[in-house]
Amino acid sequence: MKNHTILMPALFLMLFPAVTIGEDFLGAPVVPHIRTIQKTETRLEILSDLTHDDALAFYREALREEEDIKFRDWKDATYIEDDGNREWHSVTISKEGKEGTEVVITKDSWTWIIGTLILRYVGVFVVLLLLFLGLKISGAFISRAIAKMDVKKDGS
């Protein structure tokens, strides 16, 4: 009897970390109770028996200590994005699953990185162009106003 009272807690403590760690994909945690739809090196699509809110609560808890994580609430899904240097890029949790909640985990890709950099690069020049045009237009109005004031002074 004494052996069982010592053996059971010891066995539980040895197995407990394996139960709590769970599965992951590219370092991103994967919700429990899943059916895999598609799995490649860069993308994991799964269906979970959890509701959207339960899956979102799972990810909020799992990523609670992580930095550079953004949660975005969209109409059809919740989008969790990593703005850091993790191997995974985003987790999308669908809101309107008929057979379950669809969760998609994607890998960070160079096309997304380069596209973001190009968009920012072009955006800076668009903003500078708009500022330049605004300065040219306001400069033209001010020049005309000063020219009219000079004509009035000379004519008086």
pLDDT tens column, 27-61 = 888 988 788 899 999 999 999 888 899 999 999 99
Q: Is the pLDDT of residue 4 over 80?
A: no
**Euclidean distance between CA atoms 108 and 131, whole angstroms:** 34
pLDDT mean across residues, the chain: 84
Which residues make Cβ contacts (< 8 Å) with residue 71, sequence separation at least 6? 60, 78, 79, 80
Mean pLDDT of 22-29: 81
Instruction: Determine the 3-state secondary structure of 77 from DSSP.
Output: strand
Find the length of the chain: 156
Which tokens is 45 given?
């699509």
62 burial type by CB count under 10 A (0-12 exposed, 13-18 middle, 19+ buried): middle
Q: Is the pLDDT of residue 131 over 90?
A: yes
Nearest Cα to 87, choosing from 109, 72, 103?
109
pLDDT tens column, 85-110 = 888 989 999 987 777 899 999 998 88
CA distances from 93 to 22, 119, 142 (A): 18, 26, 54
